[in-house]
Amino acid sequence: MTQGVTHKTASRRLVIMTFVYNIGFAGLIVAIDKLLDPSRNDWPALQTWPLVLLVCAPLFLYAYEIVRYIRSVDEMLAVLQVRAGAIAGLVTLLAGAVAGVGEVLGVLPEINTAMALPVAAIAYSVAVAVQEARMR
Amino acid sequence: MNNRLKDLRGDKGWSQQALADHLGVSRQTVNALETGKYDPSLPLAFKIGRLFGLKIEEIFDDGE
């Protein structure tokens, strides 16, 4: 198997798993929000933490997929992924800061912090696409 | 960093994909190396040198 084929297979798997884990994350958020007892906010902290960990599960699995992908591609493609991750992290922090300050100043509505995941995913995807296009 | 990779590949009559297969990297990486958009790691530079039977400094030029 050539490196090109390996890269294509690994990329396809990452795209599919990105979709699966983001859907899983969104599904868990919706399930907790819509299906569980609305009085959950009164639960003792020890009972609600498992829910938080449950929501984090797709994120941990997604992080594992990214590490697995980076290990399966060559050094330049791995550098692109790491750089894209750094850009996505920065964009997510900036978006969080803008949303937080806007909320404090009353110019933005309260935004669910769970929105950080799609922001990070989109920023990461765009950063990877732009860099791969430049290197093509 | 400038390099002679494209010329050396041409001398062998290899496509970018063929060189990529010899080096165990992707075609995009070979293209990025040839166009100077990416500088290889030392292990990859040594691999390239061994493949063409040349020293690293005979292939890559940092302009110093």
**Cβ separation of A74 and B29 shorter than 8 Å?**
yes
* Chains A, B: CB pairs < 8 Å: 46
User: Nearest-CA distance from B8 to chain A in Å?
Assistant: 20
The pLDDT averaged over each successive group of 10 residues in chain B (64 residues) is 92 94 92 92 95 94 80
Residue A82 pLDDT greater than 60, yes or no: yes
Contacts of B10 (CB under 8 A, 6+ apart): none
Q: Which residue type sits at A96? A: G
The runs of H, that is alpha helices, within A75-115 are: 75-105
- Which residues of A lie inside 8 Å of B (Cβ-Cβ)? 2-4, 7, 73-77, 79, 132, 134-136
Q: Which pLDDT value is given to residue A39?
A: 61
Highest mean pLDDT range out of A7-16, A28-37, A60-69, B45-54? B45-54
Contacts of A10 (CB under 8 A, 6+ apart): A69, A72, A73
Nearest CA in chain B to A136: B28
Q: Span A50-65, mean pLDDT?
A: 84
Q: Which pLDDT value is given to residue B16?
A: 94
Q: Which pLDDT value is given to residue A93?
A: 94
Give the Å distances, CA to CA, from A118 to A21, A78, A85, A132.
Answer: 11, 22, 14, 21
Q: ipTM of this model?
A: 0.85
Give the Å distances, CA to CA, from B3 to A37, A117, B19, B22.
Answer: 65, 41, 15, 18
User: Nearest-CA distance from A74 to chain B in Å?
Assistant: 5
pLDDT digits (tens, 9 = 90+) for A3-16: 555 777 888 888 88
Residue among A4, A132, A135 minimizing CB distance to B20 = A4
Residue A135 pLDDT greater than 80, yes or no: no
